[in-house]
């Protein structure tokens, strides 16, 4: 049997879970994984990604449901999702994407009080099945390297 080590997961497992909203914290502190802050929306990297390039797109306003969004916010957040996918295509060249919105804890929302989209790049032959079979994620690029690769492209938005 072979052993696959994922020591970076231990930080998450042992860490005290954030009680404050991670999106609101990201807006107030740019020394984190925030790639973009626009007039109505923001993009940040998922600190505990399913695979490298896993992004979170959220409205700047602290809201929990689609019903609370204005039409302007809805248009803006979808444009930000589109722009983020475009940047990931250019920089990381994935074969496809999973894009999702989890509303409510039972639907998988980890941050229920602040609506956000997940953008997960996918490649033919990626290793996401490891999570199902071995409770391990295989991410081929360090989080900080992915941030450095994406950040210059997000700085050009707006």
Per-residue confidence in pLDDT tens, the chain, 158 aa: 455 566 666 776 777 766 788 888 888 876 678 999 999 999 999 988 888 899 999 999 999 999 999 999 999 999 999 999 999 999 999 999 999 998 887 777 778 789 999 999 998 877 655 554 456 666 777 888 888 989 999 999 87
Domains of the chain, each with CATH number or no CATH: 19-139 (3.30.428.10)
> Which are the catalytic amino acids?
116
Q: At what angle do helices 71-92 and 143-154 cross, to 10 degrees?
A: 120
Pairing of strands 41-45, 34-37: antiparallel
The terminus-to-terminus CA distance of the chain in angstroms comes to 51
């Amino acid at each position: 049997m072979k052993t696959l080590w994922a020591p970076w997961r231990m930080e998450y497992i042992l860490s005290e879970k954030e009680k404050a909203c991670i999106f609101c914290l990201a807006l107030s502190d740019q020394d984190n994984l925030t790639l973009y802050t626009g007039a109505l929306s923001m993009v940040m990297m998922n600190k505990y990604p399913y695979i490298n390039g896993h992004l979170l797109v959220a409205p700047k306003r602290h809201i929990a449901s689609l019903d609370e969004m204005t039409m302007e916010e809805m248009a803006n957040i979808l444009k930000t999702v589109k722009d983020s996918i475009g940047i990931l295509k250019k920089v990381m060249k994935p074969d496809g994407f999973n894009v999702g919105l989890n509303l409510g804890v039972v639907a998988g929302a980890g941050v229920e009080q602040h609506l956000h989209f997940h953008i997960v790049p996918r490649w033919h032959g990626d290793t996401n099945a490891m999570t199902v079979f071995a409770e391990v994620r295989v991410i081929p690029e360090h989080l900080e390297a992915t941030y450095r690769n994406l950040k210059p492209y997000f700085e050009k938005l707006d």
